[in-house]
Structure 1
């Protein structure tokens, strides 16, 4: 069973890293990445921050006594990691001339978990 503190911990860590990665992308990577790569990197940061805020909020509002709530936050935590961090890996490895192609299929898997998390949130609300 998941605890509120664990969910908020992941939300806080993801939020912290999103701010760091956002600043890194805006300053250190701006001259090293193409416009398309920079947009992809920023997409990873945005989705990470959106779901960080969501996780912190869910930690305040849910008691995690139901399996549905546990599955939901699992989808958000794992989905955020797979989605955003695979984008970071793809962009950074591509800019270094050694694109890690195995990360390509991981991004949509992370996105699918995020969609599933939102579906489970909708079911929780209903």
Structure 2
């Protein structure tokens, strides 16, 4: 939905670089939504670190993607929300933590 919004409604308002940034947010949101679906079907959430993994992915995706959306749209309207600048890397860090916990889960099952 956000991809279609960016491709059609924002195409005339945003520069090429802004559209690429918006598209990055959409891609990361989509990838992590798929990961969350796979986790939901394959994990019982019976171990606390699995819950932390899900929290990292959900909160990280929200902070990463939606801060990019807000930064791009606000910049297009001439009022860049600079306070959101540090939010994007924080979301990325949470996504990295989620991936690390997922890797730990796989390695734990191998041993």
Range of TM-score over shorter length: over 0.9
Q: How many residues align?
A: 107
Question: What's the Cα RMSD here?
Answer: 0.4
Q: Which runs of 5+ in 2 are unaligned?
A: none
Q: Which residue of 1 aligns with 2:104?
A: 123
Q: Deviations over 1:76-121 (max 9, x none)?
A: 0000000000000000000000000000000000000000000000
TM-score w.r.t. length of structure 2: 0.95
Q: Which residue of 2 aligns with 1:98?
A: 79
Query: Where has structure 1 moved over 4 Å in runs of 4 or more?
Result: none
Match of 1:108 among 89, 94, 100: 89
TM-score w.r.t. length of structure 1: 0.84
Q: 1:26-37 to 2 correspondence within 5 Å?
A: 26-37=7-18
Compute the displacement of 1:31 (Å): 1.1
Q: Which residue of 1 aligns with 2:43?
A: 62
Q: 1:68-87 to 2 correspondence within 5 Å?
A: 68-87=49-68
* Separation in 2, partners of 1:21, 1:103: 19
